[in-house]
Structure formats: C-alpha cells, structure tokens
Amino acid sequence: MSKISKELAKEAKKKGICESWYKELQTIEDKREMIAMYLKGIDFCLMNDYPSNDYIRLNFKDIINEFGIYLDDNFNICNIKKCILLGFTKGYIEINNFNVSEIFVKNESILNITAKNNSFVMIDVFDNSKITVKAQDNAKVCINKYGNAIVDIIKNDLAIIKIIEKNKKTY
C-alpha cells in the first residue's frame, strides 16, 4: 500500500466511509485510480471535505485538471461531463447542443455557466460559493443550493431553471 492510499484510507475511516470502500481504497496504488474513486464517491467526499483541499493541493494538483477537478484555478471550458470547483476557483463553462453536465461548486469558488440549445445541467452549489447561470433556448438546469451559496439566474422564456433550496450545509 502506498503512503498516500494509507493516509487516505485512515482519514476516510475517521469520516465514516463504508467498509467495502475502505478496503478498496487501501489497495489502490495509482493516483489516477484514486481520483476516479474520488469522482465515484463525490457525495461522501464533498460532504466530509475529504480529502482536504490542502491534501489535494499537495498530492494531486499536478493531475486533477485532466479529470475536471479545479482547485484554486481559473478556467474556461465547453461541454464537460463532470466538473468540480474547489477552493478559490473561478471558471466559465458552456454546455450546448444535447450535452449533459454535472457540476459541483464548493468553498469560495465562482462559476459563470451558460446552458443553451437542448443541454441539461445539474449543479450542486455549497458553502460560500457563487454561481451565475445563463440559460437560453431549450436548456434545462437544476440547481441544488446548500449553505450560504449564492445563485443568480438569467434565462429566456424557453429555458427552465429549477433551484432547490436544501436549507442545510451539505448532503
């Protein structure tokens, strides 16, 4: 077992990870496989601030962007399937045509997003982050709002934006 997988497994155990995921995490040696597991268990990770942004910065910062994870970054992308904004990230995302996207915005991140044509976007927004969503054409956007997150919307008559106020800090 690598030093990183050992540290991650120990911390996950403290945070209440299930036994099967704990055992699986202990066996992973490759950083990219660890990131794939992070994405697969994103709800547990975001709910528990696991691993911490400092840990991600120290051990994974060199490769997270290729997985759609941004930490203290600035970016501009189009039609990403899954995206996670952490720390003080500032980004712009456009989703168009018939593309589907799942986006998570956490900490102090700021996101501007344009959804157009027949796209469908799911966004979970947490903490003190801020998103501005512009929806046009037949786009559909569903936003789950947690904590003190700020959501601004701009839309035309055909677009649908649904904001679900969760009235709690996290999942």
- Give 5-40 pLDDT, tens digit per residue: 999 999 999 999 999 999 999 899 999 999 999 999
Query: What are the structure tokens assigned to 100, written together?
Result: 């589907």
pLDDT over threshold 80, residue 125: yes
pLDDT over threshold 70, residue 1: no
- Give 63-88 pLDDT, tens digit per residue: 999 999 999 999 999 999 999 999 99
Q: Is the dihedral of CA 43, 109, 140, 115 positive or negative?
A: negative
- Give 46-55 pLDDT, tens digit per residue: 999 999 999 9
- Give 98-112 pLDDT, tens digit per residue: 999 999 999 999 999
- Give 34-45 pLDDT, tens digit per residue: 999 999 999 999
pLDDT of amino acid 141: 98
Tell me the percentage of the chain whose pLDDT exceeds 70. Answer: 99
Do 36 and 51 touch, CB atoms closer than 8 A?
no
- Give 127-154 pLDDT, tens digit per residue: 999 999 999 999 999 999 999 999 999 9
pTM: 0.96
pLDDT over threshold 90, residue 2: no
